Amino acid sequence: HQTDSQAGAAVKAADRAHVFHSWSAQELIDPLAVAGAEGSYFWDYDGNRYLDFASGLVYTNIGYQHPKVVAAIQEQAATLATFAPAFAVEARSEAARLIAEHTPGDLDKIFFTNGGADAIEHALRMARIHTGRPKVLSAYRSYHGGTQQAVNVTGDPRRWPSDTGTAGVVHFWAPYLYRSRFYAETEQQECERALEHLETTIAFEGPGTIAAIVLETIPGTAGIMVPPHGYLAGVRELCDKYGIVFVLDEVMAGFGRTGEWFAADLFEVTPDLMTFAKGVNSGYVPLGGVAISGKIAETFGKRPYPGGLTYSGHPLACAAAVATINVMAEEGVVANASVVGAQVIEPGLRELAARHPSVGDVRGVGMFWALELVKNRETREPLVPYNAAGEANAPMAAFAAAAKANGLWPFVNMNRTHVVPPCTITEAEAKEGLAALDTALSVADEYTA
């Protein structure tokens, strides 16, 4: 690719002058100017190419610039670039039909939003109106989005500055055997004790006050803690027992990420509401939504649903979703995530863990993996403290810098790196990424004791 450092400098200068970035101290960031992207790679203006092991923000499940999806967006733009949400529009109808075809159980009605956070907002509103109850239970170590309600159900430090305390949210602990809150030593103990803890939380909060339990099917940004088999089925039972709406957030885990269309398929559970975004169209145009079960759809059969968006089911976003879902089916993208995950990524990560003392835990499934980095494998002390910033975060910063220097763009959150490349990744690309990870982990090893 041609380099043009001057053009890159201009892009960067305008960014620094005028773009206000998410989650950042504006004067302390140094965003890379990106010149282009294709498949699993992107590149800057200086000729550096990166293998994207983060899939952007874990959303480019089909990789960058898939020609069929780009063409579908162009075609839709030429035919009908936009149309108001109250009308029946071909791209919107077809996207909803295709999504409903893949969602589990009777999640057959689709409410479209602009992204994941507003999908959570609407799912919780539906649950509250459906039950007539005020509260929502959600997990610590979770992320559900940046809007007010979504950030209040979030269980990570991004909630703290916006915690209203009036959002009717109660947090509980979900299973996480590596750092068990329940003194568990086996997956089965963790599962049973986490369910007991949840049922006690329900009892003490008052079952009649709880509208919804919301969980990421597999918590993503918080650490890819694959729940023990039986946990989500147990939550389903508790929801049925107490008349609580079960909301699964599949914004990150959905659309192939786990090697299934939805992570719920891995555990054979059907929630009452399921949120999605990201992979639905690989983020080529912003889109999210809520898949709605028959009984909740019925609540709004004769009574209006009090919510909406100007761009609900935007034709460009929906055309991108139709093309993405069709590409995923035609090109076996979901199976690829499963096969390359099981045959290359998982054994590769376990082999790295065996050689690098900084790797405390390897966990995941499909194209959804976390390496938890530790100072000491015995004590499991994290390589950096929870929510570390600045100097305290230096070991993770050094790890990330080493990965980038080796042509790998890593996903880093606290003391973890997540291996979450596009679901279309080839075996050769996966191996290339693992080799770069190997070098970067040697840097992390220097901080172990």
Phi, psi of 126 (to 5 degrees): -60, -45
Q: State which residue, 216 or 429, has the beta carbon closest to ligand PLP.
A: 216
- The single-letter code of the amino acid at 232 is L
What does the DSSP assignment read for 332-393?
A: THHHHHHHHIIIIIHHHHHHHHHH-TTEEEEEEETTEEEEEEEEETTTTEESS-TT--GGGG
Q: Which residue is nearest to ligand PLP (CB)?
A: 116
Query: Is residue 276 at the binding interface for ligand PLP, with CB under 6 A as the rule?
Result: no
Query: Is residue 117 at the binding interface for ligand PLP, with CB under 6 A as the rule?
Result: yes
Query: Is residue 121 at the binding interface for ligand PLP, with CB under 6 A as the rule?
Result: no
- Interface stretch with ligand PLP, choices 94-102, 141-149, 310-318, 414-422 (CB under 6 A): 141-149
User: Among residues 39, 155, 168, 288, which is the contact residue for ligand PLP, using CB under 6 A?
Assistant: 288
- Measured in whole angstroms, the distance separating CA 48 from the mean position of its chain's CA atoms is 27
Is the Cα torsion angle 17, 54, 370, 62 positive or negative in sign? positive
Question: Please, what is the minimum distance in Å from the beta carbon of residue 116 to ligand PLP?
Answer: 2
- The single-letter code of the amino acid at 165 is G
User: Among residues 92, 102, 130, 144, which is the contact residue for ligand PLP, using CB under 6 A?
Assistant: 144
Please state, as a whole number, how many other Cβ atoms lie within 10 Å of the Cβ of residue 303. 9
Task: Produce one character per residue of 305-321: b if its CB has 16 or more CB atoms within 10 Å, e if not.
Answer: beeeeebbbbbbbbbbb
Q: State which residue, 57 or 170, has the beta carbon closest to ligand PLP.
A: 57
Query: Is residue 145 at the binding interface for ligand PLP, with CB under 6 A as the rule?
Result: yes
Query: What's the rounded Cα separation, in Å, for the pair 121 and 145?
Result: 9
Question: Please, what is the minimum distance in Å from the beta carbon of residue 39 to ligand PLP?
Answer: 22
Question: Please, what is the minimum distance in Å from the beta carbon of residue 255 to ligand PLP?
Answer: 12
Question: Please, what is the minimum distance in Å from the beta carbon of residue 368 to ligand PLP?
Answer: 11
Question: Please, what is the minimum distance in Å from the beta carbon of residue 147 to ligand PLP?
Answer: 7
Question: Please, what is the minimum distance in Å from the beta carbon of residue 274 to ligand PLP?
Answer: 11
Strand-pair category, 288-292 with 109-113: antiparallel
* Residues of span 193-252 touching ligand PLP by CB under 6 A: 216, 220-221, 249, 251-252
What does the DSSP assignment read for 269-301?
A: ---SEEEE-GGGTTTSS--EEEEE-HHHHHHTT
Which chain residues interact with ligand PLP by CB under 6 A?
57, 115-117, 120, 143-145, 216, 220-221, 249, 251-252, 277, 288
